[in-house]
């Protein structure tokens, strides 16, 4: 083809792509939020700005669950089954990360005390039968007048990253159709103060994580007690504690998914066939982009605060932002936050639309967002100088809060392990 012919063909293709004679369905790809998404974002932002932010420092210092704020969130429908169902209904998958980013922009400790319940809900949603969903998910939240929280308990003192090392056992008492749970859970968000606890336990230790199952422990069940409450570096408004299970008996119907399905799965594993699900890992993978969105919210809060500060604060007779050292730091902070958000949105969209995570894109989103939050909040402290290091200014708290995002829901190292295994197909250690 002549050079002129190639140019003409390219021009035709561009014209077609721009709509000249193409399909009437409109563009297949857009990053523009629809009106519902914008409305929900603005609504949550208003709550974060007017209710959460003003309360953040107080509850961080008190290191207590902010029940009055949870109650406010429940009253407006932000905390509760209907709210979550509405966020989840968005087929693009973006509403859930948008809501999380806005709420955690307000404050991460309070954000986690409001949304910590969703980990247990995700486990019930992912593994429960329709009857179990109907029975337990509403109980995780309680009512608008009397909200409750739920806890998801997988980690143990000797089983953090290595989920297969879980020692908590679940033994079936056939005569009574009850499961008996024994063991100790560690670092459980809402552990002991929750109405509903979801417990990951081993029904066959020999099978490692493939011998795990998830159980609901109903409110007030004997033998399920809070252990030590953990004193933390950040996220201090969110309750974290050990949970002790001491001959804790739950009805047979509390095994998520039911016994028949569990027996089939265990039989497949024992025959050496692949098991379809690993109870805890399944829950973690599904929630990673949403967790990343929380980290993006913290990072954005610290970036916005330090940008305004840099424009106001004068040294050497001019605002500090007029120094490239500060302005370039802020430019990089914004760049990294936007990059992290795009990964989060991609992961959330993939999860919601049933795409296969071929390259562990959910883990990528959480890894990037967590590391960006740590880096950005540390930069923010630097930009505020001495003020940044004090509790009089919020970036110090944001920095403490951000750090957990490279640790829980799979540490950064574990995310890299997951990604490197996915891209290489090799058993990287
Ligand atoms: C505030 C908070 C809330 C939490 N909430 C919950 C909850 O609600 N439910 C729950 O079940 N758990 C919860 N956790 C526990 C959390 O998920 C674990 O702390 C986390 O999975 C890491 O486990 P670990 O602390 O035992 O660290 P370890 O597994 O002991 O890891 C220690 C270090 O070794 C590295 N490492 C470990 N193995 C490897 C490897 N193979 N390759 C390279 N590096 C490796 C890790 O990346 C990390 O840097 C919470 C923890 C905290 C602090």
Q: State the average pLDDT over residues 107-126.
A: 95
**pLDDT tens digits, 312-344:** 999 999 999 999 999 999 999 999 999 999 999
Q: Is 414 in the pocket of ligand 1 (CB under 6 A)?
A: yes
> Is residue 17 over pLDDT 60?
no
Confidence bin at 54 (pLDDT 50/70/90): very high
Q: Is 413 in the pocket of ligand 1 (CB under 6 A)?
A: yes
- Residue 250 has φ and ψ, to the nearest 5°, of -125, 150
> Is residue 137 over pLDDT 90?
yes
**pLDDT tens digits, 62-100:** 999 999 999 999 999 999 999 999 999 999 999 999 999
Report the b/e string of 160-191 with b at 16+ CB within 10 A. Answer: beebbebebbbebeeeeebbbbbbbbbbbbbb
Distance 406 CA to ligand 1 centre (A): 9
Known active-site residue 49: no
365: three-class secondary structure by DSSP? helix
> Is residue 197 over pLDDT 50?
yes
Report the b/e string of 236-256 with b at 16+ CB within 10 A. Answer: bbbbbbbbbbeebbbeebbbb
> Is residue 279 over pLDDT 80?
no
Write down the mean pLDDT value for the chain: 92
Dihedral angle of Cα 19, 24, 25, 26, to the nearest 10 degrees: 30
What pTM was computed for the model? 0.93
For 142, counting Cβ atoms within 10 Å of its Cβ (0-12 exposed, 13-18 middle, 19+ buried), the class is: buried
Question: How far is the CA of 361 from the CAs of 162, 335, 367, in angstroms?
Answer: 21, 20, 10
Q: Which ligand 1 atom lies nearest to the CA of residue 155?
A: 11
With the most atoms of ligand 1 within 8 angstroms of its CB, the residue from 150, 191, 227, 408 to mutate is 408
> Which residue, 173, 156, 177, is CA-closest to 165?
156
> Which residue, 392, 365, 388, is CA-closest to 377?
388
Distance 108 CA to ligand 1 centre (A): 19
Question: Of all protein residues, whose CA lies closest to atom 29 belonging to ligand 1?
Answer: 161
Q: Which ligand 1 atom lies nearest to the CA of residue 154?
A: 11
> Is residue 388 over pLDDT 70?
yes
Q: Is 198 in the pocket of ligand 1 (CB under 6 A)?
A: no
Q: Is 404 in the pocket of ligand 1 (CB under 6 A)?
A: yes
Q: Which ligand 1 atom lies nearest to the CA of residue 158?
A: 26
How far is residue 344's CA from residue 97's CA, in Å, rounded to a whole number? 7
96: three-class secondary structure by DSSP? helix
Angle between helices 81-89 and 130-141 (to 10 degrees): 120
Which helix (H) or strand (E) segment holds residue 283: the answer is helix 279-312
Based on its alpha-carbon atoms, the radius of gyration of the chain, rounded to whole angstroms, reads 24
Total count of residues recorded for the chain: 429
Q: Which of 285, 336, 371, 409 is catalytic?
A: 409
Q: Is 230 in the pocket of ligand 1 (CB under 6 A)?
A: no
**pLDDT tens digits, 182-191:** 999 999 999 9
**pLDDT tens digits, 389-411:** 999 999 999 999 999 999 999 99
Q: What's the token pair of residue 426?
A: 């090799």
Beta bridge partners of 180: 171, 249
> Is residue 4 over pLDDT 70?
no
Q: Is 408 in the pocket of ligand 1 (CB under 6 A)?
A: yes
Q: Is 168 in the pocket of ligand 1 (CB under 6 A)?
A: no
pLDDT of residue 5: 53
Pairing of strands 150-153, 196-202: parallel
> Is residue 9 over pLDDT 60?
no
With the most atoms of ligand 1 within 8 angstroms of its CB, the residue from 65, 110, 160, 183 to mutate is 160
Confidence bin at 140 (pLDDT 50/70/90): very high
Distance 366 CA to ligand 1 centre (A): 14
pLDDT of residue 10: 46
Distance 377 CA to ligand 1 centre (A): 21
> Is residue 179 over pLDDT 90?
yes
Q: Which ligand 1 atom lies nearest to the CA of residue 417?
A: 42
How far is residue 178's CA from residue 174's CA, in Å, rounded to a whole number? 7
Q: Is 284 in the pocket of ligand 1 (CB under 6 A)?
A: no
With the most atoms of ligand 1 within 8 angstroms of its CB, the residue from 156, 187, 402, 428 to mutate is 187
Distance 400 CA to ligand 1 centre (A): 17
pLDDT of residue 24: 57
Distance 161 CA to ligand 1 centre (A): 5
> Is residue 146 over pLDDT 80?
yes
Confidence bin at 356 (pLDDT 50/70/90): confident
Q: What's the token pair of residue 337?
A: 């936050």
Return the residue matching tokens 């944001």: 398
pLDDT of residue 275: 61
pLDDT of residue 28: 79
Q: What's the token pair of residue 49?
A: 């700005």
> Is residue 118 over pLDDT 60?
yes
Confidence bin at 284 (pLDDT 50/70/90): low
Q: State the average pLDDT over residues 412-416.
A: 97
By the 8 A CB rule, do 103 and 111 touch?
Answer: yes
Q: Is 160 in the pocket of ligand 1 (CB under 6 A)?
A: yes
Q: State the average pLDDT over residues 231-247.
A: 98
Q: State the average pLDDT over residues 139-155.
A: 97
> Which residue, 131, 286, 254, is CA-closest to 278?
286
Higher local confidence (pLDDT), 386 or 273: 386
Q: Is 407 in the pocket of ligand 1 (CB under 6 A)?
A: yes
């Amino acid at each position: 083809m002549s050079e002129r012919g190639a140019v003409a063909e390219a021009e035709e293709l561009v014209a077609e792509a721009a709509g000249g004679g193409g399909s009437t369905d409109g563009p297949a790809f857009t990053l523009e939020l629809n009106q519902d998404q914008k409305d929900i974002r603005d609504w949550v932002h208003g709550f974060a700005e007017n209710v959460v932010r003003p309360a953040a420092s107080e509850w961080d210092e008190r290191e207590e669950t902010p029940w009055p704020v949870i109650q406010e969130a429940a009253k407006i429908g932000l905390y509760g089954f209907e709210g979550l169902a509405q966020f989840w209904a968005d087929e693009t998958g973006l509403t859930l990360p948008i809501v999380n980013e806005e709420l955690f922009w307000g404050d991460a400790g309070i954000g986690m005390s409001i949304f910590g319940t969703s980990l247990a809900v995700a486990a019930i949603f992912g593994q429960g039968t329709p009857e179990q969903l109907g029975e337990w998910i509403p109980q995780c939240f309680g009512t608008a007048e009397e909200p409750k929280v739920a806890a998801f308990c997988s980690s143990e003192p000797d089983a953090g990253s290595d989920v297969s090392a879980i020692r908590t056992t679940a033994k079936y008492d056939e005569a009574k159709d009850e499961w008996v749970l024994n063991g100790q859970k560690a670092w459980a968000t809402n552990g002991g103060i929750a109405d509903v606890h979801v417990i990951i336990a081993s029904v066959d230790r020999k099978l490692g994580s493939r011998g795990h199952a998830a159980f609901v422990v109903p409110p007030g069940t004997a033998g399920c007690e809070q252990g030590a409450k953990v004193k933390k570096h950040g996220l201090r408004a969110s309750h974290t504690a050990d949970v002790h299970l001491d001959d804790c008996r739950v009805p047979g119907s509390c095994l998520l998914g039911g016994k028949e399905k569990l027996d089939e799965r265990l039989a497949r594993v024992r025959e050496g066939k692949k098991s379809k699900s690993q109870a805890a890992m399944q829950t973690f993978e599904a929630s990673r982009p949403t967790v990343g969105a929380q980290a993006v919210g913290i990072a954005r809060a610290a970036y916005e605060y330090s940008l305004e500060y840099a424009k106001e604060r004068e040294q050497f007779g001019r605002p500090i932002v007029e120094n490239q050292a500060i302005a370039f730091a802020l430019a990089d902070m914004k760049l990294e936050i936007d990059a992290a958000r795009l990964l989060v949105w991609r992961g959330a969209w993939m999860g919601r639309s049933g795409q296969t995570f071929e390259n562990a894109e959910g883990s990528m989103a959480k890894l990037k967002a967590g590391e960006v939050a740590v880096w950005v909040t540390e930069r923010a402290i630097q930009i505020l100088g001495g003020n940044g290091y004090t509790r009089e200014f919020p970036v110090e708290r944001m920095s403490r809060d951000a750090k957990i995002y490279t640790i829980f829901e799979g540490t950064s190292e574990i995310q890299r392990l997951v990604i490197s295994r996915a891209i290489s197909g090799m058993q990287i250690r």
